[in-house]
Amino acid sequence: MDENQIKTSCLINNYNYARFLSDAIDSVLNQTVKFDEIIIVDDASTDNSAEVINNFTQLANVKSIFKPKNQGQLSSFNEGFLAASGDIIFFLDADDIYEIQYLETALNFYRKCSECDFLFCAYKKFGAEEGIFQSHAVDLDLGYSVIRTLYNGEWIGSITSTLSIRREIIRKVLPIPYIEDWSVRADDCLVWGASLVGAKKFYISKLLVRYRIHQNNQYYNKFLDIDNNYEYKRFWKRNSLFNYILQKNNLSSPLFLAFTSLNELKTIPYPKYEDFISYLKIIFLFEQNLFWKIKGMILLISYLLKTFIIGKFKILPTINNVICKINIVNLLSMKLKKYIILMAIQNVTLLILKNNVK
């Protein structure tokens, strides 16, 4: 792909958000750099959304898809992607708004960093609640996350309206047939799916999206009302989704998990403490070969110390560096002891079970 001639598509998904829809579409049209195509997918709205959309379809770069039946957010993603022709696909919920320089900033990032497959940004909340969601104060290269997602189910991304994904990645994910499972919160499919198929993810710290909070915001209200039943159901939906994407792309678990985990960690230029712990857990819990389990944990700890010594280990700038170093070393020592003890217990238990079977 010629990075200087990137074609862009914006997919707007809408259901009964006529009162917000004009603001969303205007925010896309008024970008300092124009989108090549804007596709509005209406999920069989019962308000006057069709009228609002038709006011914009006179423009050459605006297309509309009116679904005859309400099927939810994932179905809208599927329909929109199949109609899109862009090299990079941007997603926008009909009740949210892009800041005027969002596309220009994102495109500059993609051009500067050609290895970026998946990009998300910080955002402002407005409406019934105001605030800023900025997970980090600086732009970040988050590396690859196939192993972390597959084994830990880690969710490395953000809300729908902050996401953009290269076509060669999203075509490996969409369309997805489980539309009933993901009628809401379908951004899970984009975030998890992109990780599983090998997207290299990046984060922009600029506040480039406005996320509207209101009483009909299905994702936000669902998030507030999370209970054990919801999380349990989501776990099984996630498993089905993972299996589908893996089969679709002929992917399987790595043969040498500990080795692959360490290599994936090394794709993060400035890893955080949480990154090391995540891979340590994966190696301890899922590596079946005892030799590689022990060696993998030792190599991972060695790599942590190496990155720490050369200054690539990411720590909070507000904490005194000397105190932080002491705390981290102590914490790592405690964690390592804990994992060694647990591993010993696990192996003794297996030995006892084998003897009883005999």
What CATH number should be reported for the domain holding residue 42? 3.90.550.10
* 1 lies in some domain: no
* 2 lies in some domain: no
Distances (CA, A) of 349 to 35, 288, 294, 307, 352: 60, 15, 17, 35, 5
SS (H, E, C) 118-186: EEEEEEEEEECCCEEECCCCCCEEEECCHHHHHHHCCCCCCCHHHCEEEHHHHCCCCCCCCCCCCCCCC
Return the percentage of the chain with pLDDT > 90, whole number: 75
The rounded mean pLDDT for the chain is 88
CA distance 295 to 349: 21
Q: Are residues 275 and 181 in the same domain?
A: no
Average pLDDT for residues 130-150, to the nearest whole number? 95
Interacting residues of 79 by C-beta distance below 8 A, sequence separation 6+? 41, 65, 67
18-53 per-position pLDDT tens digit: 999 999 999 999 999 999 999 999 999 999 999 999
CA distance 89 to 165: 5
**Residues forming a β-bridge with 11:** 39, 91
Interacting residues of 279 by C-beta distance below 8 A, sequence separation 6+? 147, 148, 261, 262, 264, 265, 300
Average pLDDT for residues 145-165, to the nearest whole number? 97
| DSSP β-ladder status, 201-213 and 97-98 | antiparallel
Band (215; pLDDT cuts 50, 70, 90): confident
Contact 14, 56 (CB under 8 A): no
Average pLDDT for residues 183-196, to the nearest whole number? 97
The total number of structural domains in the chain stands at 2
Q: Are residues 73 and 186 in the same domain?
A: yes
| Tokens 């104060």 belong to residue | 137
Average pLDDT for residues 216-235, to the nearest whole number? 66
> Is the per-residue pLDDT at 157 higher than 50?
yes
Decide which of 193, 227, 248 is a domain's last residue.
Answer: 248
The confidence score (pLDDT) of residue 328 equals: 46
328-340 per-position pLDDT tens digit: 445 555 555 555 5
Position 110, amino acid: Y
Q: Are residues 188 and 275 in the same domain?
A: no
Q: Are residues 180 and 265 in the same domain?
A: no
Q: Are residues 72 and 178 in the same domain?
A: yes
Q: Are residues 17 and 89 in the same domain?
A: yes
Band (229; pLDDT cuts 50, 70, 90): confident
Band (232; pLDDT cuts 50, 70, 90): confident
> Is the per-residue pLDDT at 321 higher than 50?
no
* 341 lies in some domain: yes
The confidence score (pLDDT) of residue 338 equals: 56
Q: Are residues 171 and 273 in the same domain?
A: no
Q: Are residues 202 and 303 in the same domain?
A: no
Decide which of 227, 248, 269 is a domain's last residue.
Answer: 248
Q: Are residues 269 and 230 in the same domain?
A: no
* 327 lies in some domain: yes
Q: Are residues 58 and 151 in the same domain?
A: yes
Band (313; pLDDT cuts 50, 70, 90): low
Contact 76, 176 (CB under 8 A): no
CA distance 53 to 20: 11
The confidence score (pLDDT) of residue 79 equals: 98
Distances (CA, A) of 66 to 40, 42, 45, 132: 8, 5, 9, 34
> Is the per-residue pLDDT at 83 higher than 60?
yes
The confidence score (pLDDT) of residue 203 equals: 98
Phi/psi for 158 (5° steps) reads -160, -170
Q: Are residues 181 and 79 in the same domain?
A: yes
Average pLDDT for residues 296-318, to the nearest whole number? 77
The confidence score (pLDDT) of residue 308 equals: 81
> Is the per-residue pLDDT at 153 higher than 80?
yes
Contact 41, 11 (CB under 8 A): yes
* 3 lies in some domain: no
Q: Are residues 233 and 284 in the same domain?
A: no
Sign of dihedral through CA atoms 301, 303, 305, 311?
Answer: negative
> Is the per-residue pLDDT at 348 higher than 80?
no
> Is the per-residue pLDDT at 355 higher than 70?
no
The helices-and-strands tally (H runs, E runs) of the chain is: 13, 10
Give CA torsion, residues 314, 318, 322, 326, to 10 deg.
-70
Interacting residues of 318 by C-beta distance below 8 A, sequence separation 6+? none
- Residue 115: give the domain boundaries: 8-248
Average pLDDT for residues 72-83, to the nearest whole number? 98
The confidence score (pLDDT) of residue 316 equals: 40
CA distance 230 to 228: 5
Decide which of 186, 215, 248 is a domain's last residue.
Answer: 248
Left if phi > 0, otherwise alpha if psi is -120 to 50, otherwise beta: which for 92? Answer: beta
Band (326; pLDDT cuts 50, 70, 90): very low
List, as one string, the DSSP characters of 269-334.
Answer: SS-BHHHHHHHHHHHHHH---HHHHHHHHHHHHHHHHHHHHTT-SB--TTS-HHHHHHHHHHHHHH
